[in-house]
Structure 1
Amino acid sequence: MKTLSKIIGLFILCAALYSCGGDGAGIDSTKPRARGSIGEIILVIDSAKYAGPVGEELKNIFEADLPGMLRSESIFNVHQVDPRAMTRMLRMSTNLIYVTTFDDRSSASQVINQQFSKESKEKALNDPSIYSLRVEDEYAIGQEVLYLFGNTDDQLIKNLKANADKLQNLFEVRERGRLEKILLARKNSAANAEAEKDLGIQINVPASYQVAKSEPGFLWVRQPTPNGNRADISLFFHEEDYTSEEQTFPENILKLRDSITHEHIFGDPEDLNSFVVTEKQIVPSFRNMVINGNFTTEIRATWKTNNISMGGSYLGYLMVDEKKGKLYYLEGFVYYPNEIHRDALREIQTILLNTDVSWTPDQGS
């Protein structure tokens, strides 16, 4: 296996995260499989550095609170480990991040620094923009190892601040990809058939979900067997004509969302006066993006029934397909009292981002 000092001599000029990843060629089949929960990161860093400004910036990136939540929940499940305490089992973790600065003389940081060649350190000294190295499958197959480094704390912090979104997105995309392979190994073809018929879109939902309600312009699917270890997750899909840019304004997205849930989503099927609304006490979070060429707004917020008997978190996407002249609202909402919602929301995001709103019947199924 190549040592880090040899690898870094070849790739240290790669300051952009996305150009360093391997393509899977040359994988050593004798290596073990990486292991770790979805969303779990092992952060290898000196404890004193983690307690200081560098650690604060790392927490801002990898332990940031998810927006629009009922309570504080971090985006990733991060475990800090002293470099001197790394074991063979920990090195097999799916997501590993090593953090150091070359001026740090602590014994813990020196464990990491010794993996860098003198030439590599000189290159970093001459180019302060160099701060990262991404190595796939270094200790195990299916592993992501990221080295974050700098000559000083201030230099590393500056680069972390400038590249926070890239660093966060690297692991967000990776973890969705891992989860997608698990969730969508078996799909519900009946739900997709309903989506094609009633909304003119293609969806990919796990086989474990069942159709709860289907009619022209609307589809509701649900995970029917929640338990103490499994959240109650519902997904719904809505379609209508796109007539004005004003439909994409945040206040109008919330009005649309609440009109859909008022009509279709009941807290108690036996009580038509019990319906789902957005919780206004927690400010919803909006983020604009482009997905498959379509303008999209992501919404993270909380919901409750109008009689306040139930509540939870939700993640929605408003998508505009101008070619078809259609507007789509896709949402997943969670009911899981007193438990963490992060994993359920990642499941929802993975499923919803696999929706093809640009599909047309002449494309075939």
Structure 2
Amino acid sequence: MTEAILLVGGKGTRLRPLTVHTPKPMVPAAGVPFLTHQLARARAAGVDHIVLATSYLAEVFEPHFGDGSSLGLRLEYVTEEEPLGTGGAIRNVASRLSSAPDDPVLIFNGDILTGLDIPALVRTHETTGADVSLHLTRVTDPRAYGLVPTDGTGRVTAFLEKPQTPEEIVTDQINAGAYVFRRSVIDTIPAGRPVSVERETFPELLSAGAHLQGMVDSTYWLDLGTPAAFVRGSADLVLGRAPSPAVPGRCGDRLILPTATVAADAKLTGGTVVGEGAFVAEGARVFGSTILPGAVIEPGAVITDSLIGTRARVGERAVLTGTVIGDGAVVGADNELREGARIWCDARIPAGAVRFSSDV
């Protein structure tokens, strides 16, 4: 198990404004770019060569990670001229792989936080002789996902689009976004055009009689595609609920990066992260939130389950719940922002402009 492909080309539109200036895998989670956690977990599992399939803001990755030697890895970067989808991206980087035709190649989606036992997935692939093996996870409500039913031996029997009726929910197993491909199978994906591995490659392999094996591992799994999920994932990394060797400090109720400043009476709980150079003033209360580098939280502000962008400022006594504040934005004093609010980069909200409670 030496090679892997990481799919990091998505635009992250559901995460905006977090991804206006930063590709989704580079948004900090638990103090470091989220991609760092994926790279570190792959390295811990025995992977030593990873090809990053990049597209959106591709120029950001290599200056940060370089050749990967600081992580004990050999990294290569391949940039798509036009978006190719998941399958097309895999095929586009195939020439950089050195594996033999029957060797396993790991493939990871770049926006999944998981506790997957990576070596176990590879062992499953090898012992069953599969062409492709998929990490499957069980979810309480599978309606938002494609379903992947398996037989008694774990062999995949179908790929079902998002179910619309209760009768269509034949399993709670979903595609969890990590795969092992037999190297030769990658070369069967059409080159030079967009291909969805989920909607095209896998169903076509199945209909052609290929062996697709599922392995259920539900230890921890979270799709970080929305701001709320991203904030939760970062907090879970800090709290130790999601495993990663890349968390820059001990797991606990909070993570304060070395150059951050936090007032003695400020209260930080719930897996809160305070990034490099950020400042949290006296009397502020921050729960389960991410404060990115250089952001300022003024006295008495109350922030819950939110993400405060780089160099953003939250004014005195402001109350934020489930919100995202873009890079460089300013939320004036005494504002109240509730679930789902997204303040764009460099926007300005005057003091007391947004309220949900009375002034009495």
Place the TM-score, normalised by the shorter chain, in its bin.
Answer: under 0.3
Larger Cα-atom Rg: 1
Q: TM-score, normalization: structure 2?
A: 0.23
The TM-score normalised by the length of structure 1 is 0.23
